């Protein structure tokens, strides 16, 4: 690595790095300095680019490519301006390997370049392909690479949309991290063979497969592979997620070949494990469209609905896993959660005393940190009326109760929590299948789901009048499998009514 290129983020290194990358012969190996730092891609006319390489390996050794600013061609700040300004762009590479590198943007920096949202979608961390690439990248592996703090998407996989050419192929992102993006973690529009595995993912919406330019009748090569638009042979496996939403597909907006997707062995933690796939299966001019979706051995998560819902009138308007217009679907051996009505989060105060004067009970403790936001929260303690709440906060250590206590006391342990809302009530259906041909739903645990599946409750239910057929459902369990503990003190009465036992369909 040339020592003349500043490796401490003291000056912009984009031009020098681009010159280096353009000069690399086939099979070259570039070793960056340990934990180096390079300022890159600070303007719309100076993007870091790796193009037309063959068999090149970049060993980052912990190096960071850092983007601090976005500028328009005129020099004006580009926050809120829809200009594509990624940290790193790849075009027409073959057999490229990138190891142990960090792509770091300005999202969360608190500067005027801390943007986000749809108008900054193109400010990605990594752009693979895109408008200037009619060839695509083929055989690219990212190992132990981190993409973080991007104002737009984390990773974009694009063909050359205008010509329906340049589909990427055999892209691997493994043993890395993707976190803190401003739009979507990944946007897929043109790739055949994409593996995303063993990564740590933290952020909002993880993945959007969208149709910006519907595929024409000749959207496949003679050998049946993608020419441009489409996502085929995608595997997302063995990742750890903490995301606001997981996977959305907008195939119903136009022809987009989507086939053979595998989502398996992921841990969703307390994030969202839901999918919303709006397909267009059966369009005669759209080959490979929405065929082959496998969702297996995933765990954790609280799988929300993309369509809204009400605990008072369940189930929600669409399911946690909803697919429309797909064929050959398998959802099996998952153990994932669904939202249930809350009892209320609680904190504990010790050494408390309750005293009543003039019909008003006060709760006092030197360990308390009461605030105005506590008003209305539940109070659970010996001597306090069941369901009583905080009426007012008179100091950080003292609050008054809405109702007088049944008895005063001292040296009490008190639980404080938010109000309950339909405690332990299931909210949404686990799986919705609309216009689906051939599906297996087997041996899943849908903790908290209102029901296991139905041929309704899809994101775009009205767009698929063809009935769902060929569904096998067996071995599934749903309902409130793990009810919440109701009270901090088991001696309190009355006790809540026991919840009904979880439901199950026939064994497979």
Kindly write down the DSSP assignment for every residue of 140-202, as one continuous string: EEEES-EEEEESS-SEEEE-BGGGTB--EEEEEEES-EEEEESSEEEEESEEEEEEEES-EEE
DSSP reduced 3-state for 425: strand
445: left (phi over 0), alpha (psi -120 to 50) or beta: beta
Identify whether residues 334 and 354 lie together within a single domain. Answer: no
Identify whether residues 334 and 363 lie together within a single domain. Answer: no
Identify whether residues 318 and 348 lie together within a single domain. Answer: no
DSSP reduced 3-state for 311: coil
Provide the pLDDT for residue 484: 62
Tokens of 403: 């109702």
Neighbours of 426 (CB within 10 A): 26
Alpha-carbon dihedral angle through residues 278, 284, 289, 292, given to the nearest 10 degrees: 100
* Domain-ending residue, one of 340, 355, 372: 340
Q: Is the peptide bond prior to 46 cis by the omega test (within 30 degrees of 0)? A: no
Within-domain flag for 184: yes
Our count of domains for the chain comes to: 2
Helices (H) and strands (E) in the chain, counts: 1, 40
The pLDDT-based confidence of 490 (bands split at 50, 70, 90) is: very low
Q: What is the pLDDT of residues 59-101, one digit of tens each?
A: 999 999 999 987 766 766 678 777 888 999 999 999 999 999 9
DSSP reduced 3-state for 360: strand
Identify whether residues 76 and 54 lie together within a single domain. Answer: yes
Within-domain flag for 428: no
- Rounded mean pLDDT, 121-128: 94
Identify whether residues 139 and 205 lie together within a single domain. Answer: yes
Q: What is the pLDDT of residues 450-470, one digit of tens each?
A: 999 998 888 766 666 678 999
Rounded CA-CA distance 258/327 in Å is: 11
Identify whether residues 322 and 404 lie together within a single domain. Answer: no
Rounded CA-CA distance 367/415 in Å is: 13
Identify whether residues 121 and 204 lie together within a single domain. Answer: yes
* Domain-ending residue, one of 289, 316, 340: 340
Rounded CA-CA distance 479/399 in Å is: 38
Within-domain flag for 236: yes
pTM of the model: 0.84
Within-domain flag for 318: yes
Neighbours of 372 (CB within 10 A): 8
The pLDDT-based confidence of 422 (bands split at 50, 70, 90) is: low
Which of 123, 182, 168, 171 minimizes the C-alpha distance to 143? 171
Mean pLDDT for all residues in the chain: 87
Provide the pLDDT for residue 342: 65
Q: Residue 471 pairs with which residues in a beta bridge?
A: 439
Rounded CA-CA distance 265/295 in Å is: 9
* CATH number of the domain enclosing 252: 2.160.20.10
Q: What is the pLDDT of residues 203-255, one digit of tens each?
A: 999 999 987 777 776 778 888 899 998 899 999 999 999 988 888 887 556 77
Within-domain flag for 446: no
DSSP reduced 3-state for 67: coil
* Domain-ending residue, one of 386, 419, 452: 419
Identify whether residues 142 and 26 lie together within a single domain. Answer: yes
The domain of 369 spans 344-419
Within-domain flag for 489: no
- Among 120-134, 172-186, 484-498, name the one with the lowest average pLDDT: 484-498
Identify whether residues 292 and 404 lie together within a single domain. Answer: no
Identify whether residues 160 and 300 lie together within a single domain. Answer: yes
- Rounded mean pLDDT, 478-500: 56
């Amino acid at each position: 690595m040339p020592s003349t290129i500043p490796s401490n983020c003291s000056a912009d290194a984009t031009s020098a790095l681009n010159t280096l990358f353009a000069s690399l012969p086939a099979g070259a190996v570039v070793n960056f300095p340990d934990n180096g730092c390079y300022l890159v891609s600070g303007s719309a006319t100076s993007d870091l680019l790796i193009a037309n390489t063959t068999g090149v390996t970049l060993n980052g050794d912990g190096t960071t490519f850092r983007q601090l600013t976005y500028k328009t061609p005129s020099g004006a700040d580009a926050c809120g301006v829809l200009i594509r300004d990624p940290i790193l762009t790849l075009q027409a590479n073959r057999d490229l390997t990138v190891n142990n590198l960090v792509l770091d943007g300005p999202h969360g920096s608190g500067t005027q370049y801390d943007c986000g949202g749809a108008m900054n979608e193109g400010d990605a961390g990594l752009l693979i392909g895109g408008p200037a690439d009619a060839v695509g990248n083929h055989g690219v592996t990212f190992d132990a690479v981190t993409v973080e703090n991007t104002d737009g998407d984390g990773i974009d996989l694009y063909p050359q949309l205008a010509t329906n050419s340049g589909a990427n192929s055999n892209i691997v992102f493994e043993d890395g991290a993707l976190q803190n993006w401003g739009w979507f973690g990944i946007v897929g529009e043109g790739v055949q063979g994409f593996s995303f595995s063993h990564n740590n993912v933290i952020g909002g919406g993880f993945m959007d497969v969208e149709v910006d330019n519907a595929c024409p009748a000749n959207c496949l090569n003679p050998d049946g592979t993608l020419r441009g638009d489409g996502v085929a042979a995608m595997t997302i496996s063995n990742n750890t997620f903490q995301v606001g939403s997981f996977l959305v597909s907008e195939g119903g907006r136009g022809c987009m070949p989507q086939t053979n997707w595998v989502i398996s062995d992921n841990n969703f933690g307390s994030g969202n494990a839901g999918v919303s796939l709006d397909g267009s299966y059966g369009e005669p001019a759209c080959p490979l469209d929405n065929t082959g979706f496998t969702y297996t051995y995933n765990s954790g998560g609280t799988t929300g609905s993309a369509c809204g819902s009400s605990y008072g009138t369940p189930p929600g308007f669409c399911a946690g896993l909803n697919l429309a217009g797909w064929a050959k679907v398998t959802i099996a051996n998952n153990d994932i959660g669904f939202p249930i009505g809350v009892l209320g989060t609680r904190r504990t105060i010790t050494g408390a005393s309750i005293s009543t004067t003039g019909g008003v009970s006060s709760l006092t403790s030197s360990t308390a940190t009461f605030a105005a936001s506590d008003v209305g929260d539940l109070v659970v303690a010996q001597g306090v009326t069941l369901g009583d709440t905080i009426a007012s906060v008179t100091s950080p250590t003292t609050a008054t109760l809405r109702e007088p206590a049944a008895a005063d006391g001292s040296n009490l342990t008190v639980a404080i929590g938010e109000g309950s809302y339909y405690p332990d009530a299931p909210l949404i259906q686990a799986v919705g299948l609309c216009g689906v041909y051939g599906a297996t739903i087997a041996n899943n645990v849908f903790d908290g789901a209102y029901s296991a599946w139905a041929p309704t409750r899809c994101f775009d239910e009205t767009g698929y009048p063809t009935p769902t057929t060929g569904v096998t459902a067996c071995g599934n369990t749903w309902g409130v499998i793990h009810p919440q503990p109701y009270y901090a003190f088991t001696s309190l009465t009355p006790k809540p009514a026991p919840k009904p036992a979880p439901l199950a369909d026939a064994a497979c």
